[in-house]
Amino acid sequence: MKTVNDVNFKDKKVLIRVDFNVPLNEAMEVTDDTRIKAAKPTIINVLESEGSCILMSHLGRPKNREDKFSLKHIVDAVSDVLGVQVKFVEDCIGEKAEAAVAELESGEILLLENLRYYEEETKGDREFAEKLSKLGDYYVNDAFGTAHRAHASTAIIADFFPNSKCFGLLLASEVENLNRVLRSGDTPVTAIIGGAKVSSKITVIENILDKIDHLIIGGGMAFTFIKAQGGEIGSSLVEDDKQDTALDILRLAEQKNVKVHLPSDAVIADGFSNDANTKIAPVNAIPDGWMGLDAGPDTNATFADVIANSKTILWNGPVGVFEMEKFSKGTIALGMAIVEATGNGAFSLVGGGDSVAAVKKFQMDEKVSYVSTGGGAMLEMLEGRTLPGIEALLK
């Protein structure tokens, strides 16, 4: 896997696909610059090698050239993070973009306008990719968050740089850390799969069963398993059409000697609200009109014990509605157990939007081994799929 560390960029114009799809407030200010910071090592590497950087990214899902999706709004934030004043051009292909690139000198950075102002980007249009390719001498992909999409700037463009393309440091790091869990993890390996729905995680679970020793199932999706086993779950979230699937997963895990850990108790509420009445109940005996919204104390203790005895830990999905303070204790307890295990030498990888949001909210992101930046891309790698953006670099 060739990275920017293996290339001399002196006097080269380097076209870098970054993922600057960052959240903005109503004043068009960046509210979370994590993705910009994640791309910084690659960009600085090119500058220190006396090259110049042409950054391309998408922002949101514009229907046309809506101003609120213009990357001009993030120029100041990108400049602040990189410590270099970033130039901006109001297009990503054509004369205007080519003129801005022609004026770019070594050590300078140019940010192109939103790629998705052109529908050809998401369609993976070859002609559009070729126009983008004219802007650089070298192509670097550092956008893990979009590596699972066969878009013009993430997969097709690489064809126009047969011998002058490589991985950015973030993309390489994502692949290496996920492979550390999937292929070379120290045992016991524990996967914690949570969140709302079984349906969105079936393929992930089926693919990782060959690679793990323990599977912790939490969050709303656990109730489909509990009901499938004959439990009473009240008004808790359930996918009735996935009960047979849940039982199949349990049987498959048993065949592969994977120990499955389901919740034993839950914090239940009489409404989906921070103001609801709550109590603790066995997870398989929840009264009508009540719903499970968080893992209970016995469950937290059991999960913590499994995690404490693990050497490799993958966490994807919370175990409760952590956004509401009343139902955040299970997710906090789980996170603290992972932090403690990491401190004792385990390797821990946290990925997926809600899990990442949780570790940041509770200030645990610096205390785990690795926090993945790509939700969909990570899930597809966990499902065993080859990502187009990665495959294109390896051709």
Annotated binding residues, as ranges?
A: 19-21, 35, 58-61, 116, 149, 201, 292, 323, 352-355
User: Could you say which of 271, 353, 375, 384 is catalytic?
Assistant: 353
Cis peptide before 188 (omega within 30 of 0): yes
Q: Is 131 in contact with 93 (CB distance < 8 Å)?
A: yes
Active site residue 320: no
Residues in the annotated binding site for ATP = 201, 292, 323, 352-355
Bridge partners (DSSP) of residue 13 are 52
User: Could you say which of 72, 96, 126, 197 is catalytic?
Assistant: 197
203-224 burial string, b = 16+ CB within 10 Å, else e?
A: ebbbebbebbbbbbbbbbbbbb
H helical segments located in the chain: 34-48, 75-82, 94-102, 119-123, 126-133, 169-182, 202-208, 222-228, 243-255, 297-308, 329-343, 353-361, 375-382, 388-394
Helix-strand-coil split of the chain, %, nearest 5: 40, 15, 40
Output DSSP code: residue 29. -
User: Could you say which of 17, 35, 211, 242 is catalytic?
Assistant: 35
Residue 246 tokens read as 């849940």
**CA-to-CA distance for 103 and 48, rounded, in angstroms?**
19
Amino acid identity, position 48: E
Q: Is 151 in contact with 61 (CB distance < 8 Å)?
A: no
Please calculate the CA angle 230-233-236 and round it to the nearest 5 degrees.
140
Residues in the annotated binding site for substrate = 19-21, 35, 58-61, 116, 149
Backbone dihedral angles phi then psi of residue 61, each to the nearest 5 degrees:
-130, 70
Residues in the annotated binding site for (2R)-3-phosphoglycerate = 35, 116, 149
Active site residue 376: yes
Q: Give Cβ neighbours of residue 98 (< 8 Å, ≥ 6 apart).
A: 134, 135
**CA-to-CA distance for 368 and 286, rounded, in angstroms?**
34
Active site residue 35: yes
Active site residue 353: yes
DSSP string, 310-375: -SEEEEES-SS-TTSGGG-HHHHHHHHHHHHHHHTT-EEEE-SHHHHHHHHHTT-TTSSSEE-S-H
User: Could you say which of 96, 376, 384, 385 is catalytic?
Assistant: 376
Q: Which residues have a catalytic role annotated?
A: 35, 197, 353, 376
